[in-house]
Structure 1
């Protein structure tokens, strides 16, 4: 499971995301040779936290 907590420069929760491609966040892992990749679509769990 991947969990992301967003914070601003002052360390406060940051939740001002814009929908892009109909989702709030895409998390993409790509192999060094660029031949393999996996995309995770993260969903908001609570303010400023996505899983």
Structure 2
């Protein structure tokens, strides 16, 4: 598991930990495969870094 900056380079990678917004609301579950749309959604919620599986 690695912590990476969110961007298009992570498309196709699998999220290693649940991702929450600043209020603690679940945005994405562990195991979700990142797509361009999902990366854009996380950026909308100002997520900067995510843990991904290697």
TM-score range, shorter chain: under 0.3
TM-score (norm 2): 0.27
Name which one, 1 or 2, has greater alpha-carbon Rg. Answer: 1
TM-score (norm 1): 0.28
Larger helix share, 1 or 2? 2
